Structure 1
Amino acid sequence: MNRIDYLRISLVDRCNFRCTYCMPEDADIQYAPSPQLLTPAELLILLRGVFLPLGFTRFRLTGGEPLIHPQVVELVRSIAQWPETQDLSMTTNGFLLAAKAQDLYDAGLRRLNISLDSLEPDIFDRIIGNRGPSRWSAVWDGIQAAYRVGFNPLKLNVVVIPGVNDHEILDLAALTIDRDWHVRFIEFMPIGNHDLFHDRGWINSEDLRQRIRDRWGLATGQVRGNGPADIFQIPGAKGTVGFISQMSECFCDRCNRMRLSADGWLRPCLLNEMGQIDLRSQLRQGIEIEHLREQVKALLDLKPEINYKLRESGTTGLYTRTMSQIGG
């Protein structure tokens, strides 16, 4: 059984993008009112009083888009300074990153995952739901700024959508040849935009690997991190290519993570709300931290059973929330 020591923390449920695979244009997205979100002080109380004592040492800050949180740098600094923290990372769309990369690094953040679904500005803007001036350059500038500052590993996440961006697989993989960048291709999932998934389907990671293999060859690779990606390397490349194959190669039995949403719900799985705990409401009701810790410990004990049931049933898409609201 995997040791469960990794917590994904959603700082906000809002995002400054509206990616087609996450939030369909016609979707009525209901964000939590600000009073229903964990305050920074409440989040730190839960981390210090519940999760660190239970052996959590690895943390990822997500959203929505975490960089729109007004105290994101201060939260990074607080979590990074704890001696128990072995790893602290962040997932971002990169739009606000250029101005914040140095401050985040100075605060103690060392690893970043940045969404980059296309190298073609028009396609990129279509995917993120942008109808104004192109946002591609701002994201690319954020990636470059993070690279200059020293974030390592620097991972670029690509959701592969058939007929939309799958023709760019080789161009995206080529980014790893001369740069110490790590491009991760993610199979399109039926979460958020079920209609798009029904229309487009998804591409098996092995098919993507074969495209790269046919062009350059492909060897086993390594990169530091806690994720489920299978890692490979183009021979002679500085970086790696990874494949997250949640549709074709279930990895529930390898899952070592829990998810804390921006409104304070703890969930054991991206795809299932079984066993979820409302920590925020209980914290505000004055429930003692020891009791909250006992509840979380019970859920940790239940997680292997949840993982097994999901793997055996192949159940997906049980969330009613979008990927942005889940914490991605």
Structure 2
Amino acid sequence: MPAVNLSLTPRPAAVAAPEEGALVDRFGRVHRDLRISLTDRCSLRCTYCMPEQGNEWLARNGILTADEIERVATIAAAAGITTFRLTGGEPLLRTDLIDIVARLARIAGPAGPVEIAMTTNGIRLGEKLPALIDAGLSRLNISIDTLDRERFHALTRRDRLDDVRAGIAAAAASGLRPLKLNAVAMRGVNDDELVDLVEFALAHDAQMRFIEQMPLDAGHTWDRNTMVTREEILAALATRWDIEPVPARGGAPAERFVLDGGPATVGVIASVTAPFCGDCDRLRLTADGQLRNCLFSLDEYDLLPVLRSGQGDDAVEAILRSCVHGKLPGHAIDDPSFLQPARGMNAIGG
């Protein structure tokens, strides 16, 4: 009988002591991951992220250039950042994406060369993937919330499911591993497809990851009482597989669970009901040059004036360290005083 064992809490991974000068906040968290949003624009209009019409896009002259992204990334790598994840909006819409990947892939920090990852909806991925791999891309996360065409159209307001599936097929045929597929679990939308989505991922040699819906929609309509929780996700999967948690999660956002003894796993990102703030090692850089120390932060640290006023790298690093120092112990979504960020997910970066 399939079952889920939740009695084993994943143990923190053993991590090496931080290098001298590393980005360590007031709570001892060492920051090694910088998520770089390349654009707020997207080829889809997912209901949990942005409205279909009336979006106010960032001004073109306010978007970080490839030179500016490279400069910030070089400074961050010297301070111990080891992974850059390119996000959006949809990063594949950035016309100089290949050049940006190549520039970042040449950067090395105290621990050696950095790793370049990307989160994408997969549309047009097939045609760009060979050049991205040649430029130095090493990992991919692809979003797919449903396998049903009508649902996909209703959810994203675009009839592009075939394009997404083609992108996933191209990624599966490539050598990029691990390959991860992301789905936001939504009640009454795709909560009856969770097993099917895992089966789809396994057929593409990928790990399925389910994400609790978070308060990051542009319309601010999120309701905790209607979201699909971690426990509900795992209970649904336990109707098909025996599930055991993988220990040593470390700073990864997803808890991983072994299916039927392995080697296949599934991930659950439970930012709302089981937050992992105590081990968070991530910072975010928005497309318009704002540093954020938390996805749900109400504060931003503006790099753009420093980058465009001729100030030296020390000034950029000072803002980076100030951002890390200002990080709170957690996002407090469950606190009655919680306020949703003014920006939607597409403007913050995934």
Instruction: Give your verdict on TM over 0.5.
Output: yes
1:60-209 matches, cutoff 5 A: 60-84=85-109, 85-130=113-158, 134-194=159-219, 196-198=221-223, 201-209=226-234
CA apart distance, 1:302: 2.8
CA apart distance, 1:106: 1.4
Select 1:279's aligned residue among 303, 315, 333.
Answer: 303
Q: Which runs of 5+ in 2 are unaligned?
A: 1-27
Residue aligning to 1:293: 317
* Letter in structure 1 aligned against 2:348: I
* Letter in structure 1 aligned against 2:329: N
Select 1:23's aligned residue among 43, 50, 72.
Answer: 50
With 259-268 and 189-198 compared, the bigger mean Cα shift is at 189-198
CA apart distance, 1:101: 1.2
1:42-68 alpha-carbon deviations (Å, 9 max, x no partner) = 1112222x3122211111000110001
Residue aligning to 1:233: 258
Select 1:53's aligned residue among 73, 78, 88.
Answer: 78
Structure 1 Cα separation of the partners of residues 188 and 333 of structure 2? 29
1:252–1:311: 8 Å Cα contact kept in structure 2?
no
2:272–2:333: 8 Å Cα contact kept in structure 1?
no
Higher helix share: 1
1:233-286 alpha-carbon deviations (Å, 9 max, x no partner) = 211555321101011112211211110000001111110133x21111221112
Structure 2 Cα separation of the partners of residues 184 and 268 of structure 1? 23
Residue aligning to 1:262: 287
With 53-62 and 111-120 compared, the bigger mean Cα shift is at 53-62
Structure 2 Cα separation of the partners of residues 184 and 327 of structure 1? 18
Structure 2 Cα separation of the partners of residues 218 and 231 of structure 1? 10
Say whether residues 1:318 and 2:340 are aligned partners. Answer: yes
Secondary structure, counterpart of 1:216 in structure 2: coil
1:51-90 alpha-carbon deviations (Å, 9 max, x no partner) = 1222111110001100010111111111112233332100
- Give the alignment's TM-score, normalised by structure 2: 0.85
Q: Which runs of 5+ in 1 are unaligned?
A: none
Structure 2 Cα separation of the partners of residues 126 and 221 of structure 1? 35
CA apart distance, 1:175: 2.7
Identity of aligned residues (%): 36
Count of matched residue pairs = 320
Cα gap change, 1:198 to 1:122, in 2 (>3 Å): same
Structure 2 Cα separation of the partners of residues 57 and 175 of structure 1? 31
Cα gap change, 1:293 to 1:199, in 2 (>3 Å): closer
Structure 1 Cα separation of the partners of residues 191 and 265 of structure 2? 18
Structure 1 Cα separation of the partners of residues 346 and 333 of structure 2? 24
2:251–2:280: 8 Å Cα contact kept in structure 1?
no
1:177–1:234: 8 Å Cα contact kept in structure 2?
no
1:115–1:156: 8 Å Cα contact kept in structure 2?
yes
1:36-51 matches, cutoff 5 A: 36-48=62-74, 50-51=75-76
Cα gap change, 1:215 to 1:245, in 2 (>3 Å): same
Cα gap change, 1:126 to 1:200, in 2 (>3 Å): farther
Residue aligning to 1:32: 58
With 13-22 and 224-233 compared, the bigger mean Cα shift is at 224-233
With 109-118 and 248-257 compared, the bigger mean Cα shift is at 248-257
- Give the alignment's TM-score, normalised by structure 1: 0.90
Secondary structure, counterpart of 1:258 in structure 2: strand
Structure 2 Cα separation of the partners of residues 197 and 296 of structure 1? 31
Structure 1 Cα separation of the partners of residues 337 and 349 of structure 2? 19
Cα gap change, 1:35 to 1:323, in 2 (>3 Å): same
CA apart distance, 1:316: 4.7
